[in-house]
Amino acid sequence: MLNKQVMVEAFQAQVYLSYASWAEVNSFAGIANFLYGHMHEREHMFKILKYINDRGGGKAKIEAIDKAPENPKDIGDCLQKILKHEIDNSKKIDQIVNLAHEEKDWATFSFGQWFVQKQIEEESLVNGIIDKYNLASTEVDGNTSLYEMDRDLTNASQEAETPREEEF
């Protein structure tokens, strides 16, 4: 299962690479940048490969990477597809952790926790971007600037301006 996951992570990186390139040639430099950044899936691949080789008796197998999928229809479709890839990947990680638990392989169980956590972060990150995309593409009560307003509030100071003590 770990060897399969090496190639799954390599495939994830291919998906991000191909979608990033698609976004770039369609003039979405910011989205392309975000997607190129996710080629860090190759680091996940490498982390598993090293774990297999470093545990006595394990041998990592490098096999063919599946072909990257067709280009998405638009940005909304791209983000939904990315989310689905991440959810599918989370399920595969869960299966590894489940098996490690069943076999009382506590080293792999512990190793897998890092990936469980990563998947929570990555699903949440993509979900957050989908929320922003929806906000940016929606008109509410004739207001089309909610995305900008929300972005401004994200960066707004949490400290209210209060008078200095000596002014009391």
Where do contacts with ligand FEO occur on this chain (CB under 6 A)?
Answer: 9, 12, 41, 44, 86, 89, 118-119, 122
Q: Which C-beta is closer to ligand FEO: that of 12 or that of 14? A: 12
How would you classify residue 141: left for phi > 0, otherwise alpha for psi between -120 and 50, otherwise beta?
left
The residues that bridge with 140 in the sheet, in sequence order, are 143
Kindly state the smallest distance separating residue 5's Cβ from ligand FEO, in Å: 9
Shortest distance, CB of residue 111 to ligand FEO, whole angstroms?
Answer: 13
Name every residue whose Cβ is closer than 8 Å to that of residue 72 and which is 6 or more positions away in sequence: 19, 22, 78, 81
* The token pair that represents 132 in the structure block: 């922003």
Residue with the CB atom nearest ligand FEO in the bound state: 44
Nearer to ligand FEO, 89 or 108 (CB): 89
Which of 79, 85, 72 lies closest to 135, judged by CA?
79
CB of 112 to ligand FEO, least distance (A): 12
Q: What is the DSSP letter of 55?
A: S
Q: How far is the CB of 110 from ligand FEO (least distance, A)?
A: 17
Nearer to ligand FEO, 9 or 111 (CB): 9
By beta-carbon proximity to ligand FEO, the closer residue of 73 and 84 is: 84
Distance between CA 16 and CA 25 in Å, rounded?
A: 14
